[in-house]
Each structure stands twice: as C-alpha cells, then as structure tokens.
C-alpha cells in the first residue's frame, strides 16, 4: 500500500467542508477511496 500526502488550497466560503476543517484544525478526515485522472480527483471520505 502507498501513502499519498498532499495539501489543498482553496478560497474560504467556497467549500463548507473545507471551512469546517479550517475552523477545527484538530479534526481529521480519512479517505476510504481515491480515484484520480489528469484532470480530476475523487475521494470517498468517512
């Protein structure tokens, strides 16, 4: 199994989940599945 670590940049107010995570820096999201193409990235989180 491989581990993937990355950082996302976003504009506040555009994504409620990202805003909630920014407001609660100790919160964590675990990805169940990750699928990527050259143009898109899909994640299933829990």
Please report the pLDDT score of residue 43 as a whole number.
Answer: 79
Please report the pLDDT score of residue 13 as a whole number.
Answer: 94
Residue 32 has a CB neighbour count (10 Å cut-off) of 8
Phi, psi of 31 (to 5 degrees): -90, 125
pLDDT tens figures, 1-46: 788 787 778 899 998 988 998 999 999 888 788 888 888 888 787 7
């Amino acid at each position: 199994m491989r581990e993937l670590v990355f950082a996302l940049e976003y504009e506040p107010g555009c994504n409620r989940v990202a805003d909630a995570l920014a407001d609660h820096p100790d919160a964590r999201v675990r990805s169940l599945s990750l699928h990527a193409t050259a143009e898109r990235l899909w994640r299933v989180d829990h």
